[in-house]
Amino acid sequence: MISRPRALAALVALGAGWGITQPLGKMATETGYPPFGIIFWQLVICTLVLGTISLVRGRGLVLHRRAMWFYLVVAILGTLVPNYTFYVSVARLPSGIMSILISAVPLLSFPMALALGMDRFSTLRLFGLCLGLAGVALIALPGGTGLSPDMMLAFLPVALIGPLFYAMEGNFVARYGMAGLDPIQAMFGASLIGVLLCLPMVLAMGQWVTPTLPPGRPELALLISSAVHALTYAGYVWLATAAGAVFASQCGYLVTLSGMVWAMLLLGERFGPTIWLALLVMLSGVALVSPRQRSA
């Protein structure tokens, strides 16, 4: 087991690392690059980073039938759809708002798990779900973000599609497992399949992006964001193994908070009292909805 000070330091580092990917993702959209063009290169970078980690660990790509089915489902539910809606919405909404909305994953996952018979009803957790919905409603109120009500009504639902699909992915993995793969192998294979699925869509929709050399700010943001995402995921797996899944899961709160701080530092975003209240309400809801004990 890892020492507590070292575990806390790792938790903070992971939260800060994952949080910065939100404003970096917004920077990547500054040139008007189309979503699937950005996603393709993001997946290429993640595949290279995770493939290198897998090679160093001596665990290559697993290609049996169950693994291939897992890669396909996770690539669609966990990458292609949520990343597309992220880039569409983050180009129009503040990055800090996107960081708050990503915390909705447990809130959306809970009713799905109930419907699938994988979780038990709790009045306290139902109250947490209501708090989460209240947080979303606060974000939608006029004046909190400086955007027009029409813009918020148009793209707030789009921004919530990503957390919805992440919740679907989480319940899929909880129900069917990872086909005997470890998490790094699983994400390496899902990223590779994502590349193969994304390429024909990029070409068919005319969304090919040729990165500029030397890379400008958007290209550097995409490169750093993709590499950080892959490395922090590997770090999360290590922390869950060394300190336990329950401890590692607290990283989600830090991702939301650090995402807002990074948005203020890198993008100069500022938020009104209503948005900070929405953050408090959302995280309170997540704390109530999240189960007290989780299996590794």
For 69-105, what is each residue's pLDDT tens digit?
Answer: 999 999 999 999 999 999 999 999 999 999 999 988 8
Determine, yes or no, domain membership for 147. yes
Q: Which residues of 228-262 are buried (b: 16+ CB within 10 A; e: fewer)?
A: bbbbbbbbbbbbbeebbeebbbbbbbbbbbbbbeb
Determine, yes or no, domain membership for 296. no
Contact between 285 and 107 under an 8 Å Cβ cutoff? The reply is: yes
Q: Is the pLDDT of residue 34 over 50?
A: yes
The pLDDT of residue 234 is 78
The pLDDT-based confidence of 246 (bands split at 50, 70, 90) is low
| φ and ψ of 210, to 5 deg | -100, 110
Instruction: Please tell me what DSSP assigns to residue 29.
Output: T
Determine, yes or no, domain membership for 146. yes
The pLDDT of residue 1 is 64
Structure token pair of residue 258: 């650090």
Find where tokens 């949080």 sit: 19
Determine, yes or no, domain membership for 142. yes
Q: Is the pLDDT of residue 226 over 70?
A: yes
The pLDDT-based confidence of 164 (bands split at 50, 70, 90) is very high
Determine, yes or no, domain membership for 9. yes
Name the average pLDDT for the chain: 88
The pLDDT of residue 117 is 87
What's the predicted TM-score (pTM) here?
0.90
Determine, yes or no, domain membership for 155. yes
Q: Compute the average pLDDT of residues 186-207.
A: 95
Q: Report how many domains make up the chain.
A: 1
* Residue 88: CB atoms within 10 Å: 18
Q: For 149, how many CA atoms within 13 A lie in the half-sphere containing its CB?
A: 5
The pLDDT of residue 64 is 93
How much of the chain exceeds pLDDT 70, in percent?
Answer: 95
DSSP for 158-211 reads HHHHHHHHHHHHHHHHHHHTTTT--HHHHHHHHHHHHHHHHHHHHHHTT-----
Structural domain that includes position 52: 4-289
Q: Which residues of 142-155 are buried (b: 16+ CB within 10 A; e: fewer)?
A: eebbebeeeebeeb
Determine, yes or no, domain membership for 124. yes
For 282-296, what is each residue's pLDDT tens digit?
Answer: 999 988 887 654 444
Structure token pair of residue 44: 């290429």
The pLDDT of residue 156 is 93
